[in-house]
Every structure is written in C-alpha cells, then in structure tokens.
Structure 1
Amino acid sequence: MPVDSLNVSLHSSSDREESTDVDVVVVGAGFAGMYMLHRLREIGYSVQVFEAGTDVGGTWYWNRYPGARCDVESLEYSYSFDEELQQDWEWTERYSSQPEILSYANHVADRFDLRRDIRFETRVESAAFDEDRNAWCVRTSDKALTVGRFFVMATGCLSSAATPDIEGKDEFSGTMVHTGRWPKKGLDLKGRRVGVIGTGSSGVQAIPVIAAQCDELIVFQRTPQYTVPARNAELDDDRQNEIKGRYGDFREANFAMPQALGSDVRKYSDSIHDVSDEERRERLQEAWDLGGTLFLASFTDVLLDESANVHAQNFVREKITEIVSDPETASKLTPEHIIGCKRLVIDTDYFEAFNRPNVRLVDVGSEPIQRITESGLSTKSEDFEFDVLVFATGFDAMTGSILRVDITGRDGMTIQEKWAAGPRTYLGLTVPDFPNMFTVSGPGSPSVLTNMIISIEQHVEWISDCISWLDDHQYSTIEAKSEAERAWVDHVNAKAERTLFPSCNSWYLGANVPGKTRVFMPLLGFPGYVRRCDQVAENDYEGFVLK
C-alpha cells in the first residue's frame, strides 16, 4: 500500500517550495499512461499524469494524417485487462483507422474516469531525484512542482517526431506539416500541389490518400520500401462474435506468440529451402493474399538466413514490377536491402498510387534535396513548387521523448549523459543511477516488435506489482545494478545478432536520426521476455538494489 508518511517527509522544512505530492508521477496519456493510471488507482495509489496534448490517445492523438491506421488487427490491438471492455467495444474494420482508435481511447478514459488525474496541455520539462527524500521532483511547463516517490515515463516509442534539418525550412511560404503533428482540423488538399518527403510507414499510408485528394503529388523517396497489402476490410460480425466468444483463450494464445499476435494465422516449421520453387511461391502468394505483417512468417528462416530471405525479397520485387506500370518508376520503388530488417510496412494501394497521372516519384539518392525555398524545394537538378509540404520522416524512436526531458538521477547523472553511447536498460524497464524510475516499452524490451498494447499491459502490471511489493516489504527505493544492465544489453544484442535485423540501417537502430548512436533497441521474443520479468520478480527483484 502507499506510504502514508510521504507528505510529512516532503514538507518537514518550512522553506521548501510548495508542491503537489503523489505516490506516482506518470508522463504521457496514451495507452501506456492510461492503463498505468488505472492500475495504480485500483491498488490504492495516488497518481498524477501529465500530457502535452489536449486529450488522451498518445500516438493516435498526434498522428492524424490521411490514411493513418494500425498494422495490428483490431481484435488484437486493444486492452485485454477488462473483460467487459473487450466485450462491449465493437470494432468496424480488420485494421482500425486512427479516428476509430482515438475514439476507443476516449471511451476507455470515460469508462474509467481517467481524466480527473490527467493534466492536459502540460509538458514535463524536468525531473530530478532527491536523494534526501527518495522522491522525484517533477517540474512542468505551467511552472508547477509535483513530487512523487515513483516516476514513470509512459511517453511511447513513436511519439517524438523527427524532422530533417534541411536548409531553408523557415523560408517556405506554404503549409508545412509533419505526419506526426497533423492538425486536428485537417488540411484541405483539393486542388493543391503537395510534396511528401519520406516513404516509411507514415508515408506509405498517407500517399495514396493524399494522391486522391490533391491536384499534384511529388513523392521524395530516400529508401524504397518493402510493403505488402494489408487487405483491410470491414470486420465481419461473425468473426468478431466468434473471437469474443473465446477472447480469453484467444489472448492466451497470442501471449505465447513471438510478437504477441497472430495466433490464428497458420504456422509453418520448415525452411524456405525445404520446398520446391512452386510450393515456395504458392505459400508466399497465400501470405500476400491474406495480407498483414506476418507475411515473413511463411517460413521459419526468412529473418535468420540471407539465402532464405532473398526468395521473399524477389517475390515482393516481382509484385512491384507487376503493379507499377512505368518501368522506371517501378525500378525506383524496388528495394535492394534485406526484407524485414526494417519494419515491414503494410499498405492499401501504395504501389498503385504511382500509376496515377498526378503522382510523380523523385529518388533523392540520385537527386538529393538541396534546400527548401519560399515556393517549394530544390533538388540537385530541378526546382519544385508546392502549396503543402509534408514531412513523413518518422520518429526519434523509443528514446526521443525520454531524452527530450531533463531527467537527473543519482549524483547528478542526467539521462542524456547516461545514454550518450546508446540507450542501456535493465529489462527495458529501469536504468541504473535512476532509482524509482520506470520506462514503459523502453529500449531493451520487445515493444515495437510486438502488439504494443499487450506489451504495454505486461509492463504496467509488472511496474505496479513492483511498487506494491516494495511497500509491502518496506523498501523506499529500487535501482537496477550496473552488472544487471550490462548482462541485459548483452542479451538483447545476442538475440538480435542471431537474426538479420541488424543488417540494415533502420529506426530500430536509430539510423533515421542523424548523430544518434546506433544500438539495436528492441528485444526479440515476447514470451521469453515475460518469463524473465516474472523470474526477476519471483526472486525478490534480482538484479536490483533495494533500500
């Protein structure tokens, strides 16, 4: 239970600054922050959540760009902690759109009365651990001070927008927008000339929708993407009712999957080399027709063996050639890297969009962008004029939102100093030198390689159980040991090195952010990770210093 002496210990001196005192301070009101708040309140803790936006939703609050959609199926990308919630909510599509997911987040906030403990339009600017009081002092953009025994960064993996530093950005006279900061009221693109920079997941989703709305669209591509069809459709009532009739078993089956999803998708245990050319193509075609991110699960070794991977590469390359009418454009859209080492994108009519007469592709590998101008931008050999310039350039993934806060731990150590050589954690949950601080879906956890909501639930439940256990055993602080951190980082790297994931420059490594240290950040394998977290807790939080 919460420690009753908190207020006394924080205000024993009359000259201390006035503060709001709670058991736990949480940063972020997306799916992680909302569940963290709910779970802690359920077990009796006082919580203050801070959120920069005007409402809940996190990633789905900020990413309102045309075509924004989840790449995990709706019946899986939802909370599992409350049976009535998962029975009552009705999804409408196989893959939910941003507006529907945001509606779901708002429904959850209403259902559990979460907003009364969330301070919106308030950004956390600094957080410092007070070693005398064993508490975190958190300062926010409204100049207020909030003090809590525990500090949780629930800021999300894909929430810190990354905008390239291109000369002349301030000169553009039109509308400039990042997909991750799309205006609430939307943008009227009818009759407009639009430039889109970037062809990652956001760009792939946005480009076909923008193309259908605007007069002219120029897409500036740095790296071609492997993308497979989503095959999105209205969600069949029979399918939804069937899953709801066995939701408990369905969830348990997904928990046992490497990505915490896809238990209903057919499983294979053979190598791509073990079948004939005809059978190989038939199976890949079957996965292509089914759609979704589990295309690469058609064989066991596609992400382990480059000689196996090349067959999947060639299959998708052939599809691009079949779909895109212009051979030169098709060639520019054809990737050369390992398939799957970057996040596999799923799409709706992405390649088909380049058959439209109002869409043109510019390869910035051969035609680099020189500068942004008042009327558009200039490449090495051509000037372009736009009314709207869209940056679909992704995020400073997993660490960006954490590093943007001035966080100071023990002995004046800042998180920026701690992670100067790359993010290092224990279990993806904690960082040595930062007592009583937790990260939800942080670097070193499965997070972005899984169904995020399920990973979030596991983290929130582990953190809240840990806090309760500390109080039950009368401990004031918990801090990861440096040797536990080193062993965990080695474990994460060893798992990655047995695969093809580190073989190309991806945001998993931070390669999309200039100057960011290259470290493979997510951990492969959800079930093994959960077992290890459980083991740590069962062994009285081994790997931690408890005081």
Structure 2
Amino acid sequence: MSVDVDVIVIGAGLAGLRALYGFRCEGHSTIVLEASDEIGGVWNFNRYPGARCDVESFDYSYRFSEELEQEWRWSERYATQPEILRYINHVADRFDLRRDVKLNTRVRQAQWEEALCAWRIDAEDGRRWIARRLVMAVGQLSTPKDTVYPGQDDYQGRVIYSARWPREPVDLDGKRVAIIGTGSSGVQMTPVIAEQAAHLAVFQRTANYSVPAANAPVSDEEDRAVKAAYRERREKARNSPSGLGFIPDPRSATEVDADERERAFEAAWNRLGFGFSLTYKDILLDEDANAIASEFVCRKIAEQVEDPRTRDKLLPKGFPFGTRRPSVDSGYFKTFNRDNVRLVDIRETPIERFTETGIETTAESMDFDVVIYATGFDVFTGSILKIDLVGTGGRTLSEAWAGGPASHLGIAVHGFPNLFFIGGPGSPSLLSNVIVSSEEQIDWLEALLTYARDHDLDRIEATKQAQADWVAHVNERARETLYLKTPSYYVGAEMPGKPQVFMPYSGGVRGYRRLLEKTAERGYDGFEMTGAGER
C-alpha cells in the first residue's frame, strides 16, 4: 500500500467544504468523502417546512473570502434551508470544490496503519484510500435518533423524519398530521404545517424555552451597511463569547434596576434570537439571574397562548433558561390558538403504541394520515462513532470513549495519531455560532499540518496528559455554569445508555481561540510530533 492523498475529510457540509478549501490553499492534497448524493450536510437533509438557521445570515457564512462576502446577497435575516443550500452550492462552484468531493461514499472503517504512518479508509462499496491525515467533519446534528414506539411498524400511514425530509413536495393539505417532538425542528415546522393540515397534533415531552426569530427581509440599505463594515463585524463575532458578535452587559441581571432590565430584555427579545441568554453576563452562570430571565420568557410565552390549560403545558418548568439550547421560532406559540391544532402532553398521557391508523396514548386513540418524527439526534458523538475508527494497538474510538468522549482541545484524541475533529466534543460547537467555531479550528489545523510538513513531522498525536488536562478544563468551565442542572443533549441525556458527561466547551469562542493561539505559539505543546527519522 502507498499513500494516495495528504488529507481525507469525511463530510461535505459547511465544515468539510471549508476544510477542503483551506487545506488545498496550503498545498495539501485533499479529498472529501460524502455519504449523500449531494453536498450540504445538515442543510441537504433537513428540508422540512419552516427549516431555517437560528443565527443571522450575515454571521452564518464564511469569512475566508471578502469577494464572496460582497457578492452573495442574503434575502432574509434568518435564512431558510433552501437559501443556505444555494449558498453552499455557490461556494462549491465558485471555488471549484466539487472536483475533490466523492459523493455516494459512505465510510465503513478507518484504521491507523503504523507502518505507513497513515490512515486506511474503507468505504462500504469496497473502495479504499490511504491518507496521511484524517479529518472528521461529520457534524453534530446529523444522526437522527432511532424511534422505538411499540407497534410503529404496524402503522399504515406515511412516516417522515424531519432530518430526512423528502426532496419531492409533501402534500399535507387536508391531512391529519402528528408531529412528535418539540425541539428546534418541531418548533419551526409547526406553524407552517398548521396552515396546511386539516388537523395537527403536536406531541410534547418537554416544554422548552423559545424566543422569536424576529425574522425580516434584508433591505438593500442593510445589505450595503453590513458589507461596508464586514471586517469589523467578523472581528466582533470572533471576539465574542458566542460567535454572535455581541458582548453581554457586564453587570449581573440581579443588580440592574427592574425597569432598565425590562427594557433590555424587551429589546433582546425582539432582536437577538437565542442570544437573548447573553443579555446579562450571568444568565447562564447564576441561578437568581437566570430565574429573572426565565420569568420574563415565560411571561412572554404566556401572553401568546389563549387557552389556560394549553398555556400551562407550554411553559417550561424545572430547568434553567438556556441550559437546553433555546429554540428560535416564528409564531410557534400562537399556532396553538388555531382551531385545527392541539397539544398532546406525553408526560401526562404517554404514547402507549402505534396502531394501523394512528397513535394510542394512555388517554385516547387518534388517527393520522401522516406522522412526522422530529425527535432529535444522537448529538456530538453519534455520527463520529457510526464509523469504525481503529487507532493504535487495534483500539477503537468507541472503546476509548466508552466512558464519554475525551480529547485535547476538542480536536485530537490520544491513541489516534493524525486524526482530527472539526466541531467535535470538547470544542465550543453547539454552544456557539458553529460556523465561526469551525473556521477557527480549520485555520488552526491548516497551520498545524503545514508546520508539520515543513518540519518533516509526519506523525501528530495528542499526549495522554494534555488530553486529561483538557477534559479537566472542560469540566471545570462547565461547573461554573448552570448547564449541568439540566438533562440535555449537552450531557448526553438524549440517548439511553449514553455516558452522562458534559461534551461541549463552555469557555466561549474568544476564550477557546486564545487557547488555540497559545498552543501554537508554544510549538503545539500537548502534541507529540515525530518524523520518520526519529522513529
């Protein structure tokens, strides 16, 4: 066997395509392997009605090309899935990325070959590549959870998963529709489907906090203003805690005058989306401050719902605001005022089984023409561990992560040389504007791989001590927050049997970038790098 390519990237979403561009610019031959027949990652698969980003379009875009920034015209403040997918395809065409993307290529196994100091990557169809470096860009929200309701195979109606929505139009006019799940996907699709269906039942397990998207068309004036100061906007995003470009009020929410605080909350509610949680510095850090913010959000939700019983069921209870990622909605709560929409609380009346014609709860049997699963994902690790990754000594990553994911900087794992992650556990990922965090990691990886090449260092591995130190640091920062008070996908609670550990890095985009910079300045400490001659 001989080495075929410098770098193989798995995943042709926003992160994978950006990595391809960056590695190619640094002179590293690169191939991207993509399981689908189209590029786009999460924006290729999640085509459900109402799907849109919860980060403003101007910020949910690449910063690597000023020409791209100036030529692309966003139509809405929060772009819809079709528009984001058009953007991704435009980038692929504009920078000639498609020639290095292998579509319809599902990776079965990747195994470290010590003698070659390279990875052997095997696709399910029998094709094989040997690559010096392997980069996982498989996304955090790309493996839907399995559904396990009794009798679900008996159901004779149509079943659709939000994360695998059909490409052809789905006719819901006049249909009886069930949506199971009220996370971001369920919250976004509910108002749209309610306008089409004859009857819609929304099955809710946990009421979550949601804030309005405050979406609007992007005017020509706004477009010109943003593009005239795009560099400054990008730097604000990179130097903010969330990657959203704004800095919280440095005061505690508890010490601000009540009238002033109400005005600040009102302004944030009407403009900042899920950035509402950063109105004050300690909303995610202090229980008293969080309680004030939670009361405001619950009050705003309650104002939108007419029926008292439905209103009470829609109000979040028992966990602090923001410790589950808040949804960003466009009329979700008001939808329950419609005569053709009802809420089914499955904590109160659990689903017992599916029947041939619908769903039976402990209270009643309901018939549906269409059932839509919006039940979420195996987050952070699901897509990574679907591939059989075999490191040194034949140890798999599943074995190494049996007690929860461990990494150095959220980028590399001890025992798996030359394997790197973008947006992996231990990085800011879903606690941030993901595209900002991804570009920071990719820029850093470009520099690392170029440094290693220029110094004839072909083997890069995180040290055991550096990994242990980073895991301890991630846990230490998490304990400073309120995130650990809530069973959420941040701690693996979305999957039965999954290790209950806090997975993302809560130290913020700016803090994380500074740690990456310091690591590079110190000669990439925490990594053991060797050349063939040394071995």
Q: Name the CA distance, whole Å, in 2 between partners of 1:514 and 1:45.
A: 41
Residue deviations 1:193-219 (CA, integer Å, cap 9, x gap):
111110011111011111111111111
Q: Letter of the 1:95 partner, please give it.
A: Y
Residue 522 (structure 1) aligned with residue 504 (structure 2) = yes
Q: Name the CA distance, whole Å, in 2 between partners of 1:536 and 1:272.
A: 35
Q: Name the CA distance, whole Å, in 2 between partners of 1:268 and 1:291.
A: 14
Q: Letter of the 1:63 partner, please give it.
A: N
Question: Which residue in the other structure is 2:356 paired with?
Answer: 374
TM-score when normalising by structure 1: 0.95
Q: Letter of the 2:126 partner, please give it.
A: K
**Does the CA contact (< 8 Å) of 1:94 and 1:235 recur in 2?**
yes
Q: 2:408 aligns with which of 416, 426, 436?
A: 426
Shift of 1:543: 0.7
Q: Letter of the 1:270 partner, please give it.
A: R
Shift of 1:267: 4.6
Question: Which residue in the other structure is 1:364 paired with?
Answer: 346
Residue 96 (structure 1) aligned with residue 69 (structure 2) = no
Shift of 1:117: 1.0
> How many aligned positions are there?
528
The 5 A counterparts of 1:41-52 are 41-52=24-35
Residue deviations 1:140-169 (CA, integer Å, cap 9, x gap):
122101110110111011111113321222
Shift of 1:448: 1.0
Question: Which residue in the other structure is 2:417 paired with?
Answer: 435
Q: Name the CA distance, whole Å, in 2 between partners of 1:437 and 1:186.
A: 40
**Does the CA contact (< 8 Å) of 2:237 and 2:436 recur in 1?**
no
Q: Name the CA distance, whole Å, in 1 between partners of 2:143 and 2:209.
A: 24
Deviating 4+ runs (over 6 angstroms): none
SS at match of 1:273: coil
Q: 2:265 aligns with which of 281, 284, 290?
A: 284
- After TM superposition, the structure 1 stretch with the greater mean CA deviation from structure 2, 48-57 or 97-106, is 48-57
Q: Letter of the 1:132 partner, please give it.
A: A
Cα RMSD, aligned residues only: 1.2
Q: Letter of the 1:483 partner, please give it.
A: Q
Q: Which runs of 5 or more residues in structure 2 are unaligned?
A: 531-535
The 5 A counterparts of 1:306-317 are 306-317=287-298
Residue deviations 1:415-446 (CA, integer Å, cap 9, x gap):
11011100111000001110000010100001
Q: 1:209 aligns with which of 165, 182, 192?
A: 192
Q: Letter of the 1:215 partner, please give it.
A: A
- After TM superposition, the structure 1 stretch with the greater mean CA deviation from structure 2, 266-275 or 114-123, is 266-275
Residue 411 (structure 1) aligned with residue 393 (structure 2) = yes
Question: Which residue in the other structure is 1:462 paired with?
Answer: 444
Q: Letter of the 1:59 partner, please give it.
A: V
Residue 473 (structure 1) aligned with residue 466 (structure 2) = no
Q: Name the CA distance, whole Å, in 2 between partners of 1:330 and 1:520.
A: 32
Residue 274 (structure 1) aligned with residue 249 (structure 2) = no
SS at match of 2:254: helix
Question: Which residue in the other structure is 2:8 paired with?
Answer: 25
Q: Name the CA distance, whole Å, in 2 between partners of 1:93 and 1:243.
A: 13
- The change in CA–CA distance for 1:241 and 1:278 in structure 2 (over 3 A counts) is same
Shift of 1:278: 2.6
Question: Which residue in the other structure is 1:536 paired with?
Answer: 519
Shift of 1:291: 4.3
SS at match of 2:54: coil
Shift of 1:544: 1.2
**Does the CA contact (< 8 Å) of 1:163 and 1:178 recur in 2?**
no
SS at match of 1:407: strand
Q: 1:61 aligns with which of 29, 40, 44?
A: 44
Question: Which residue in the other structure is 1:227 paired with?
Answer: 210
- The change in CA–CA distance for 1:438 and 1:316 in structure 2 (over 3 A counts) is same
Residue 402 (structure 1) aligned with residue 387 (structure 2) = no
Question: Which residue in the other structure is 1:298 paired with?
Answer: 279
SS at match of 1:315: helix
Identity of aligned residues (%): 47
Question: Which residue in the other structure is 2:533 paired with?
Answer: none
Q: Name the CA distance, whole Å, in 2 between partners of 1:148 and 1:321.
A: 55
Q: 2:174 aligns with which of 183, 191, 203?
A: 191
SS at match of 1:417: helix
Q: Which runs of 5 or more residues in structure 1 are unaligned?
A: 1-9, 12-19
Shift of 1:280: 2.5
Residue 149 (structure 1) aligned with residue 170 (structure 2) = no
Residue 329 (structure 1) aligned with residue 310 (structure 2) = yes
- The change in CA–CA distance for 1:186 and 1:518 in structure 2 (over 3 A counts) is farther
Q: Name the CA distance, whole Å, in 2 between partners of 1:400 and 1:333.
A: 29
Q: Name the CA distance, whole Å, in 1 between partners of 2:449 and 2:279.
A: 41
SS at match of 2:303: helix
Question: Which residue in the other structure is 2:426 paired with?
Answer: 444
- After TM superposition, the structure 1 stretch with the greater mean CA deviation from structure 2, 26-35 or 278-287, is 278-287
- The change in CA–CA distance for 1:537 and 1:291 in structure 2 (over 3 A counts) is closer
- After TM superposition, the structure 1 stretch with the greater mean CA deviation from structure 2, 215-224 or 37-46, is 37-46
Shift of 1:315: 1.3
**Does the CA contact (< 8 Å) of 1:306 and 1:500 recur in 2?**
yes
Residue deviations 1:291-313 (CA, integer Å, cap 9, x gap):
41121222222111111111111
Shift of 1:38: 1.1
Q: Name the CA distance, whole Å, in 2 between partners of 1:462 and 1:57.
A: 23
Q: Letter of the 2:469 partner, please give it.
A: A
Q: Name the CA distance, whole Å, in 2 between partners of 1:194 and 1:247.
A: 43
Q: Letter of the 1:258 partner, please give it.
A: P
Shift of 1:279: 2.6
Residue deviations 1:440-465 (CA, integer Å, cap 9, x gap):
01000011111111111111111121
Q: Name the CA distance, whole Å, in 2 between partners of 1:323 and 1:113.
A: 48
SS at match of 1:151: strand
The 5 A counterparts of 1:1-40 are 10-11=1-2, 21-40=4-23
**Does the CA contact (< 8 Å) of 2:211 and 2:269 recur in 1?**
yes
SS at match of 1:220: strand
Question: Which residue in the other structure is 2:325 paired with?
Answer: 343
Question: Which residue in the other structure is 1:508 paired with?
Answer: 490
Q: Letter of the 1:331 partner, please give it.
A: D
**Does the CA contact (< 8 Å) of 1:64 and 1:183 recur in 2?**
yes
Q: Name the CA distance, whole Å, in 2 between partners of 1:168 and 1:186.
A: 28
**Does the CA contact (< 8 Å) of 1:93 and 1:235 recur in 2?**
yes
Q: Letter of the 1:420 partner, please give it.
A: A
The 5 A counterparts of 1:381-392 are 381-392=363-374
Shift of 1:321: 2.0
Residue deviations 1:299-342 (CA, integer Å, cap 9, x gap):
22211111111111111222222110100000010111210110
Residue 319 (structure 1) aligned with residue 300 (structure 2) = yes
